[in-house]
Homo-oligomer: A and B are copies of this chain.
């Protein structure tokens, strides 16, 4: 609990969230090697992460997107709403423009891919701590690529359809009529230029619209 009594005391405090324990530990190890950064807490899911950030008030919060309980984007949005001073850096596998947009809307200061060399993480933490924005170059360019044409309903319906559920089941799950579900699906299919529900779901997923 006592703050790392290292050089000068002015280390950057960070909290990390990542659902794969091994990766979480490894990233933490990576950051701990840097003299000017201390990992004050780790979390294996979104809810835990949110609590950890609120409890520790770190300078920077590093988080994955796809996690149990709450996604990294949801946590970021919540932190923005609560006006904590903590800066958020998203670290994810997915180069999806939809994710980046949502991340920025949720007030994230950084968005970088797990593809990048490891050194960039510590760099990003420092830059973001200074108040700068760090966006992965690959995304930065085409970032503002076409925006999500789907309505909320279409999204929900498409999500379930993509898992192989039948129209009737989906209807039951969402409290709609089967016909209505088919209508939404039909709309989504045409908006995405797909040939059927499955392809539509696939397309939406790769764009990060889910």
Contacts and interface: CB of A to CB of B under 8 A. Distances in A.
Interface of A: 19-30, 33, 91, 93, 112-121, 162-166, 194-202
Given A22-B112, A25-B118, A164-B195, 18 more contacts: A19-B115, A20-B93, A20-B115, A21-B118, A22-B113, A22-B117, A22-B120, A25-B119, A26-B30, A28-B118, A29-B29, A29-B30, A33-B33, A162-B198, A163-B202, A164-B194, A164-B196, A198-B198
Given A25-B118, A114-B21, A121-B22, A166 B196 contact: yes
Nearest to A119: B25
Contacts of A120: 22
B163 A117 contact: no
Copies of this chain in the oligomer:
2
Contacts of A27: 22, 26
30 contacts: A19-B115, A20-B93, A20-B114, A21-B115, A21-B117, A22-B27, A22-B112, A22-B114, A22-B115, A22-B117, A22-B118, A23-B23, A23-B114, A25-B117, A25-B118, A26-B26, A29-B29, A29-B118, A30-B30, A33-B33, A163-B198, A163-B202, A164-B198, A164-B199, A164-B200, A164-B201, A164-B202, A165-B199, A166-B196, A198-B198
Contacts of A116: 21-22
A78 B165 CA distance: 39
Given A30-B29, A118-B29, A163 B23 contact: no
Contacts of A202: 163-164
Contacts of A117: 21-22, 25
Question: Which of A22, A27, A112, A165 neighbours the largest number of chain B CB atoms within 10 Å of its CB?
Answer: A22
